[in-house]
Structure 1
């Protein structure tokens, strides 16, 4: 379905163009050409400053703006206004706080939340992610990664989910071990 665009109190703008402006001796600004018009004709300008220019907005994104608009120009900076990127995506506080450690995991868990029960693949993926994250963070040797994998698979953390899926720890460990060589290869190439 087409995205509903509108201006006013509950505005929703489509970003048409993004440019970064750096004037002599000043901090960078990000200028967004935006529209609330389905025909994409009537445009406005949104200027992001004071840290707001770091928002990873790209053409095609939908944004919601709060603040004041004067003569078709929005100014978002440390003193006034704010921009909401992807206003239709609702994230829980727990998801946001968990993204501090790993943004990919937070996004994936939010994306798959509500899909019936988990699956074998999702459980193995979560376990592998846990092993990989801890291995890279702690710069573990191959031997220590193997020990960590055993500790995680045979530990309590995922036991309830394994039981729910009618899986045995030995089955999971066998599958996890198939992926460990690729972890080692990645570490050898990139660390």
Structure 2
């Protein structure tokens, strides 16, 4: 990953979607999935926590942990659908705290 403008966050999906692909519709039909998956759920929750840190300009460990606890209840159904517990999701998200804090210390307010 190359970051040219750290104040602008553009997802890989957005970048990939900016180029035309004639096979996109076919591939989308073959590989579509409506069921939640662990990587997708972890990504959604991680991005939600990170987004709140950016929005509030607070990258402290305490604030991040509070956002983790706030984000998880909104996805309880998906968490149980994939056979995980809220604690397991919280444990995974806790592994992101240092990276988010480091980013905030480098690029934050």
TM-score higher than 0.5: yes
Deviation per CA, 1:28-72, whole angstroms, max 9, x where unpaired?
xxxxxxxxxxxxxxxxxxxxxxxxxxxxxxxxxxxxxxxxxxxxx
- Distance verdict in 2 for CA 1:104–1:132, change over 3 Å: same
Aligned residue runs from structure 1 range 101-180, under 5 A? 104=11, 107=14, 114-140=32-58, 141-153=60-72, 155=73, 157-180=74-97
TM (normalized to structure 2)?
A: 0.67
Larger RCO (CA under 8 A, 6+ residues apart): 2
TM normalised by structure 1 equals 0.40
Identify, as 1 or 2, the structure richer in helix. Answer: 2
Ranges in structure 1 where 5+ consecutive residues have no aligned partner: 1-101
Higher strand share: 1
Give the length in aligned residue pairs.
87
Superposed, 1:42-57 pairs within 5 Å as none
Over 3 Å counting, the alpha-carbon distance change for 1:173 and 1:186 in structure 2 is: same
Task: Indicate the RMSD between aligned Cα atoms, in angstroms.
Answer: 2.7
Max Rg structure: 1
Aligned runs of 1:15-30 on 2, under 5 Å?
none
Q: Distance in 2 between matches of 1:166 and 1:159?
A: 11
Q: 1:182 aligns with which of 70, 93, 99?
A: 99
